[in-house]
Amino acid sequence: MKQTPVRCFWLYSFVLIALTTIPYAIGFAAEGSDSVFTGFVFGVEDGNSYIAKMLLGATGDWLFRTPYSTQPQPGVLAYLPYLLIGKLAAGPELHLQLVVLYHLFRVAMIPLAIWATYRFVNHFLDDPDSSAWATVIATIGSGLGWLPVLLNRGTLLGSLPLGFISPETFGFLAYLGLPHLVLARALLLTGLRWYLESDADPGKGWHSGLAIAVTGLVQPLAMISAYAVIGFHQLIVLLRSGRDSLRRWRERWLPGILRTLGISLPVFVYYALAFSSDPFLRAWTEQNRILSPHPLHYLLAYGLLLPWVVVGVANAWALKKAHWLLPLGWVIIVPLLAYAPYNLQRRLPEGSWVALALLASYGISKWAIDQKIKTAVRWGVLVFSLMTPLLLVYGGIQVARSGSMPAFREQEQVMAFEWLLENGEKDAVVLTTYASGNALPAWAPVHVVIGHGPESANLDLLRPQVERFFEGKMSEEEQSAFLAQQRVDYILSGPDGSGSGQSGQHLLEGMQLVYKSNHYAIYRYTGEE
């Protein structure tokens, strides 16, 4: 197969890195004497949690135990990239180091994912122009979700368009700020490519299994996507081949599949057992609801490519080549994955946008004979496909320029956080409001009672109690019982910018003021004598 010049690959990587880094550069430049940039311009709540996970690694942890809950946790092998990268940070300005490392991780993953995407689509396409176009659409493209936004209809049928909320549906959102998903996409595509190559070289099955296993360590749900794609591909291969070809299937595909499963399946089983047996992980999973929106959202998301995908599917099916059945099967099962009876269903179509881009590119190459027509269609689709990513970058720039919460935190509040970093015990429990509790573990290796939607176990029960505590609506007996139940070591009081009115704290027996600034106070709580 012909290859796109390496200089084009690096040039495109540089452009994508620069485009996605602009908002963060502006955010750091917008810091003032009274504000600190969190390092995130969207999904700040999750962003703080990623820095908190890196801080776990920086302070010695190897297993993930969320700092956003006081519920006992045995630890699980999750978020491994963040734990490992966090170990590179030490000394002063720890939060700043972690944020910089996070974005260096993001920048490093972009060329890797572009290369993995190109290698995957180039496995099927023998035209460098088609491969390059498919790679660009797969990595930076999106659908028509920008239409309702520009028409001042930000939500449609109860949800924002998928391009603005779902990195799995497309990909650019991950490039903009979710590096572990970028890495997972690269590993998934690489694993699937090696799986296809294992039909001729069974040894590639070991490589495929390893890539999918590491995918699971980065993003466990992506393993479901990988197994679904492989399983449906093999089903189509068997149905199309018929019984007469069963022996040839055993010789051609089975050895590679067994190697792929032999390496990756233990990782999948580990997560299945961990999330089904551990009470905290079960509570986390039950609270973590990421449901797919109305099907019209997927039609809006994929409608730009669908005409060319249909042409590509028809031509690919006519080839009667087993490899082409993988992207064909992948796009067929998108609805099954997106609406599977699972509370994280929107995560499951991970990577399917790449298959759609591949088939659309093939469809355009077969639909138009004249090169000028091909070029015009490709540029037309690309321009419309870039609208959502450009709006996301523009929105990120506006957030960065605003200097407002939650993307920024008050310097005075950060100083209180840093006091806990320097003086609090590791894994000490701090009671504060939800908004402050979300940011605090990104600065200090402590646990909070509440602070993150999915990761704060029993959030619906605890949040009203925390609010009542700080609003002074609990009796002293209720406050003492609540503090003892949550094993609280410190209480952080002060404004958090959420409108919760954290104005002050009534002293209870066992509470000692250990830190005070103009608006913030930290109390050490030792319990009643």
Question: In one letter, which amino acid is 99?
Answer: V
Same domain? 386 vs 443: no
Same domain? 344 vs 469: no
The answer to whether residue 58 sits within a structural domain is no
- Residue 490 near residue 525, CB atoms below 8 Å: yes
Same domain? 333 vs 457: no
Same domain? 354 vs 503: no
Same domain? 296 vs 233: yes
Task: Output phi, psi for 402, to 5 deg.
Answer: -70, -30
Of 398, 420, 452, which marks where a domain is finished?
398
pLDDT digits (tens, 9 = 90+) for 370-429: 888 889 999 999 999 999 999 999 999 999 999 999 999 999 999 999 999 999 999 999
pLDDT at residue 503, rounded to an integer: 46
The total number of structural domains in the chain stands at: 2
The answer to whether residue 48 sits within a structural domain is no
Same domain? 303 vs 419: no
The DSSP 8-state label assigned to residue 425 in this structure reads P
CA distances from 350 to 227, 322, 512 (A): 12, 22, 50
Task: Output phi, psi for 179, to 5 deg.
Answer: -65, -30
Strand 408-410 to 447-448 pairing:
unpaired
Same domain? 285 vs 430: no
The answer to whether residue 70 sits within a structural domain is no
Q: Based on the number of CB atoms within 10 Å of its own CB, is 1 exposed (0-12), middle (13-18) or buried (19 or more)?
A: exposed
pLDDT at residue 207, rounded to an integer: 97
Same domain? 394 vs 421: no
CA distances from 316 to 131, 319, 320, 325, 505 (A): 15, 5, 7, 8, 68
Token digits of residue 421: 């970093």
Count of alpha carbons within 13 Å of 495, Cβ hemisphere only? 10
Of 98, 119, 100, the closest CA to residue 52 belongs to 98
pLDDT at residue 513, rounded to an integer: 93
pLDDT at residue 1, rounded to an integer: 42
Of 369, 398, 427, which marks where a domain is finished?
398
What is the DSSP secondary-structure string of 242-281? Answer: -GGGHHHHHHHTHHHHHHHHHHHHHHHHHHHHHHHH-HHH
The answer to whether residue 208 sits within a structural domain is yes
What is the signed CA dihedral for 56, 223, 264, 108, rounded to 10 degrees? -50
Mean pLDDT for back-to-back runs of 10 residues, the chain (529 residues):
71 96 97 93 97 97 96 93 96 96 98 97 92 96 89 75 93 96 98 95 95 96 96 91 74 91 96 91 88 93 94 92 95 96 94 97 88 90 95 96 94 96 95 96 97 93 93 89 94 74 60 92 83
pTM of the model: 0.94
Token digits of residue 489: 């070591």
Same domain? 314 vs 418: no
Q: What is the residue whose two structure tokens read 């999904």?
A: 43
Q: Which secondary-structure segment (H or E) carries 350?
A: none
Same domain? 114 vs 143: yes
Within 8 A by CB and 6+ apart from 264, the residues are: 191, 208, 209, 210, 212, 213, 216, 223, 226
Range of the domain at 510: 409-525
Same domain? 353 vs 417: no
Q: What is the 3-state secondary structure (H, E, C) of 142-200?
A: CCCCHHHHHCCCCCECCECCHHHCCCCCCCHHHHHHCHHHHHHHHHHHHHHHHHHHCCC
Vertex 499: Cα angle to 518 and 98 (nearest 5): 70
Same domain? 117 vs 185: yes
The answer to whether residue 99 sits within a structural domain is no
Of 344, 371, 398, which marks where a domain is finished?
398
pLDDT at residue 369, rounded to an integer: 75
Distance of CA 170 to the CA centre of its chain: 12
The DSSP 8-state label assigned to residue 497 in this structure reads S
Of 216, 252, 206, 215, the closest CA to residue 233 belongs to 252
**C-alpha to C-alpha distance for 414 and 525, rounded to whole angstroms:** 21
The answer to whether residue 62 sits within a structural domain is no
pLDDT at residue 498, rounded to an integer: 55
The answer to whether residue 404 sits within a structural domain is no
The answer to whether residue 96 sits within a structural domain is no
